Structure 1
């Protein structure tokens, strides 16, 4: 997998919201597009954070969320990223090491995609024979 690059497998376009987007609107966007995360960007499309389906589970588990709550209140801001030219192997290693299912892909400081465990699984399913056969 060292000769396969993130840019060839990443999900794009990227669905984004601003940090003042309501949790409800972010959740509706994720449901509408059947995605497990949404990227939070500033006015200049620079990465500010990420919110995942797991983050929504935590909100619900902690009790009724504030109806006016925004993604800024629950998003992860210490986001590890990758680039389109990074090997898929390296991206997979990062995801395993940190327990991530979603890894934003940047070009400079602009988000251009997301690589997910689903992307990696789909790739492997086309290149490897099932085991056991």
Structure 2
């Protein structure tokens, strides 16, 4: 009798690794299937985890920038945050409607639209804005040139 067991190993809060093992299986092709299935599942989890981590990083950059530079950062980040809000809202609507069609549709949307690349692009723009704000001489840094005012 074949028994298929799926085990999740929670290494961290957001990290899920799937181990699929077959007990009492005399057939090597079933072992290969189990390894392949685990690899695919782990790859999918990895892709979505990377996407979530990218979004968390963006939130952290915005939060840190606003905390450090308050009103100076608001105007600098307004356009990027507005674009990102529109992008994420559209993505959420698309993913919500795709839920009705199953996981493959969701995965297709995320992979086809190159969502990860888009999120990383927003992150790079925000990091660039953060550096610009940090390096910009202003009245908050006494004794520094006011050339950029």
TM-score by length of 2: 0.27
Which structure shows the higher strand fraction?
1
- Greater relative contact order (CA < 8 Å, ≥ 6 in sequence): 1
More helix by share: 2
The TM-score with structure 1 as length reference comes to: 0.29
For the pair shown, which has the larger CA radius of gyration, 1 or 2? 2
